[in-house]
Chains A and B, each alone.
Chain A
Amino acid sequence: MSEMEPQALAPAPANTAGAGVPSSRKRRRHYSVLTARDKLLLALMVGIPLAVFVILIWAMTLVSIVWSFTDWQGFGPLHFVGLQEYQYLFTGYPSFWPALSHNLLWLLFFVCIATPIGIFLAVLLDRPLRGSRIYQSIFFTPVVLSLAVVGFIWELQYSPIAGHGFIDSALAATGLVNAANTPDWLGDRSINIWAVLVAASWRHIGYIMILYLAGLKSVDPSLREAAAIDGASESQTFFHVVFPVMAPINVVIVVVTVIESLRAFDIVYIINHGKNGLELLSTLITNNSISEASLIGFGSAIAVVLLVISLVPIVLYLTRVMRTEEQ
């Protein structure tokens, strides 16, 4: 895993293709290292992915940015309105700031709570433990489920209807809460974002756990032995020996956490399409541009805001990767 990730992210195709050239040809043809066929092959191998990348990523991004300066509704000519969409978004649209803060809250919650729990579980399950595989399977199961299914499961858990929702029924049965006035986990806009974060974490924790566990398995056991001989405690061994060795995995974990937080969508959309306290930038985009509303210009403006936010961690990550490469 640690070996594969940086490679996959680096612009490797050219090297790989070059390595495939048989060395015997070099001896036969002295004028050029590559035959015309090789050149064609190379051009195709670099060109096709590049074209796909440019069309699907850069062109789409640029088109979205252009659309965000229009009030296009999906039909007819583009009508440019300057920064009007942004101006309304920032100063007038009541759903925008809640959505932005929910996205940031999501990020904060994942970074500070869900991801550390996942790492902690991985460390625990890395020890020789009876039934470790069973625990791993249990924690990993939510990852296999689609977020739509996760949303459905938690909707049942949180249901406020007597006899439907497990959590409220349990609270009422233990007498902690008056049965007639149980919390409305998904409907009460002061608590529903937290309820959703718990549901999303339930899945995220398993994901992080399995990633980290794979990394832990690859740590050289002799390092731990050496630390033990030097008299380091369990926690000292982890924080001063294992954790630094895991640096490549740690970066992956951070990237995965940030990506998962910024693209949060399914679970909220399943619950109530992202309204009433569950606004997210992603659901705002969908509700305004992909739904019956078809406000593509306005939706694009929200998408550009999300893009700018996403650029922050991407730039941080890339500068880090490039710095290590220079070294």
Chain B
Amino acid sequence: MDDLEKKPGFLTGGKVTRREVLKTGVIAAAGLTVLPAVIAACGGSSATPAPAVKVGSNHSDASELSGMQAIDAAFATATGVTPTLNTVDHDTFQDQINNYLGGTPDDVFTWFSGFRMRFFASKGLATAIDDVWSQAGVSSNFTAGFTGSVTGNDNHIYGIPVDYYPWCVFYRKSVWAAKNYQIPADWTSFLALCKQMQTDGLTPIAFSDKDGWPAMGTFDILDLRLNGYDYHVNLMTGANGVKWTDAQVTKVFQTWAQIVPFYTNGYAGLTWQQACDTLVQKTSGMFFLGLFMTGEVATVDSTAVDDIDFFPWPNMGASYDAEKALDAPIDIWMMSANSKTLQQNMATAQQYLAFWAKGTTQVLMYKANNGFIPTASDADTSVYDVLTQKAVTIVSSANKITQFMDRDSRPDFAGANGMQSFLLTFLNAPTADTTQLQGQIQAFWDALPAYNATPNGTFNPVPATPTPAAS
């Protein structure tokens, strides 16, 4: 344990390759298989094992990892138990979630709220944590919206919401001041601004889609604002006869096509970090992403963070503008079901989850990376910077909130050769007729095996509408 803490750079030294992560995983797995045998061999005399908790984390970025270490240190101070931290590269963690949860997971782990939590909870891969939730000061620390986002199909609680971040349009104040750009209130002025930026030699919208998921954010916001929250949720879950072949979806693609010419050249080969860098380097004018992008800005140029500002997606002129709906994904901590050590570590694992429900804990992560806004009502909002305060205001003024396409829909639908590929196909020829593409998307949805999570066999997640505590 001490050795691990002395070498925090092992998994964090800048870029970590997938291979390295896998290798670490294999070594860790080998270690885990050997360890119980060793313990069993040494045991016999001592009856009760020392309290411990194994923590699986996807916070692999340097800033997030330092936040995790600060939190685990605080937990050790408070309880005397040092958690065993197992950090896995963020995307790898997601790809391997099935094997991880079905195999030998850690006692508690990081995950996402909403449908993506219910999906694994309904498969019996997570343990309900109602007893943690009912502890003094836990449930009362979250608004009804947050509570809804961690409630499973069986009405049990499966997670502790710990942070969230809205998706907004980011820009550099200095660039906009120099060119005298104004925040566009509606779609027409947004398009006009893009044209102006192009004339001024800027890439109007920094965009990247090598990762596959950034494009989903744009689809979400356009669908929410053009067709409304209810339609979007039905589309994501295939409920109430809503289909991808609908004219509403065609309209989203047609509207989207208007801004694709303003995207970064070669976006399909760029990661979101590379697109973000063009904003920092002042070669692009705007960037639509989650608030966590400020972490990348700070990594590239710490002085640029104070120069970053943002505004919510412009009004589209449809009646749904009033909903002010937006994506604001919530991150949560969950308890696994298959962990070999869970029964023995149960008390500490519950303590650990309850510890995350405190504002003081969540603020430690916030201090490490300003992209993660605490969800706890008792979080000390005086430490929030200007951007965070603004984000909190935007999210609290939104009447409807969604998670994100890959959190609101089935994971097998949103994958690399599913929706990610379909959206890339659209972006490749945005002005082409999308009838065939929409037919393919619907056919893909229809071909997916029946989803039998809910008792009546219907696919019907209950999306949360959190109203986070405004400062």
A88-B95 in contact given A188-B268, A279-B417, A291-B416 (Cβ < 8 Å): no
- Using CB atoms, name the residue of chain A closest to B210: A272
Task: Pick from A5-13, A220-228, A292-300, A307-315 the stretch touching chain B.
Answer: A292-300
B444 at the interface (CB under 8 A from A): yes
Asked if B265 contacts A95 (CB within 8 A), the reply is no
Asked if B268 contacts A273 (CB within 8 A), the reply is no
Asked if A295 contacts B448 (CB within 8 A), the reply is yes
Interchain CB contact (< 8 A) of B440 among A94, A161, A293, A298: A94
Asked if A92 contacts B17 (CB within 8 A), the reply is no
Nearest CB in chain A: distance from B340 CB, A: 19
Number of A residues, CB within 8 Å of B: 52
Asked if A92 contacts B210 (CB within 8 A), the reply is no
How far apart are the CA atoms of A42 and B94 in the complex, in Å?
Answer: 47
CB neighbours of B415 from chain A (8 A): 287-288, 291-293
Task: Pick from B31-39, B50-58, B419-427 the stretch touching chain A.
Answer: B419-427
- Chain A positions 140-195 with a Cβ under 8 Å from a chain B Cβ: 146, 148-149, 152, 158-161, 180-182, 184-189, 192
B411 at the interface (CB under 8 A from A): yes
Interface string of B78-109 (1 = CB under 8 A from A): 00000000000000001111110010000000
How far apart are the CA atoms of A186 and B277 in the complex, in Å?
Answer: 19
- Chain B positions 393-444 with a Cβ under 8 Å from a chain A Cβ: 411-412, 415-418, 420-422, 424-425, 428, 440, 443-444
CB neighbours of A273 from chain B (8 A): 212, 416
Asked if A292 contacts B417 (CB within 8 A), the reply is no
How far apart are the CA atoms of A75 and B17 in the complex, in Å?
Answer: 30
Number of B residues, CB within 8 Å of A: 44
Interchain CB contact (< 8 A) of B265 among A92, A93, A160, A283: A160
A94-B411 in contact given A75-B123, A187-B210 (Cβ < 8 Å): no
How far apart are the CA atoms of A149 and B440 in the complex, in Å?
Answer: 35
CB neighbours of A73 from chain B (8 A): 412, 449
Nearest CB in chain B: distance from A83 CB, A: 13
- Using CB atoms, name the residue of chain A closest to B428: A189
A274-B416 in contact given A95-B421, A295-B449 (Cβ < 8 Å): yes
B316 at the interface (CB under 8 A from A): no
How far apart are the CA atoms of A140 and B52 in the complex, in Å?
Answer: 48
CB neighbours of A270 from chain B (8 A): 17-18
Interchain CB contact (< 8 A) of A92 among B94, B422, B447, B449: B447
B455 at the interface (CB under 8 A from A): no
Asked if B269 contacts A297 (CB within 8 A), the reply is no
Asked if A275 contacts B416 (CB within 8 A), the reply is yes
Interchain CB contact (< 8 A) of A291 among B95, B265, B421, B428: B95
Nearest CB in chain A: distance from B22 CB, A: 9
- Using CB atoms, name the residue of chain B closest to A155: B269
Asked if B18 contacts A148 (CB within 8 A), the reply is yes
How far apart are the CA atoms of A271 and B411 in the complex, in Å?
Answer: 21
- Chain B positions 121-154 with a Cβ under 8 Å from a chain A Cβ: 123-124
B19 at the interface (CB under 8 A from A): yes
Asked if A293 contacts B412 (CB within 8 A), the reply is yes
B454 at the interface (CB under 8 A from A): no
- Using CB atoms, name the residue of chain B closest to A294: B98
- Using CB atoms, name the residue of chain A closest to B406: A292
Asked if B443 contacts A92 (CB within 8 A), the reply is yes
Nearest CB in chain A: distance from B370 CB, A: 26
A290 at the interface (CB under 8 A from B): yes
Asked if B18 contacts A276 (CB within 8 A), the reply is no
Asked if B417 contacts A287 (CB within 8 A), the reply is yes
- Using CB atoms, name the residue of chain A closest to B19: A148
A146-B19 in contact given A276-B421, A287-B415 (Cβ < 8 Å): yes
Nearest CB in chain A: distance from B11 CB, A: 16
Interchain CB contact (< 8 A) of B411 among A71, A269, A275, A294: A294
B227 at the interface (CB under 8 A from A): no
Interface string of B351-371 (1 = CB under 8 A from A): 000000000000000000000
How far apart are the CA atoms of A95 and B102 in the complex, in Å?
Answer: 28
Binding site for B on A (CB under 8 A): 71-76, 79, 81, 84, 88, 92-95, 146, 148-149, 152, 158-161, 180-182, 184-189, 192, 269-270, 272-276, 279, 283-284, 287-288, 290-295, 297-298
Binding site for A on B (CB under 8 A): 17-19, 94-99, 102, 123-124, 209-210, 212, 265-270, 274, 277-278, 411-412, 415-418, 420-422, 424-425, 428, 440, 443-444, 447-450, 452
With A276-B428, A291-B98, A292-B415 known, 13 other A-B pairs at CB within 8 A are A75-B123, A84-B447, A92-B443, A184-B268, A187-B266, A187-B268, A187-B270, A273-B212, A275-B212, A276-B268, A291-B94, A292-B98, A293-B411
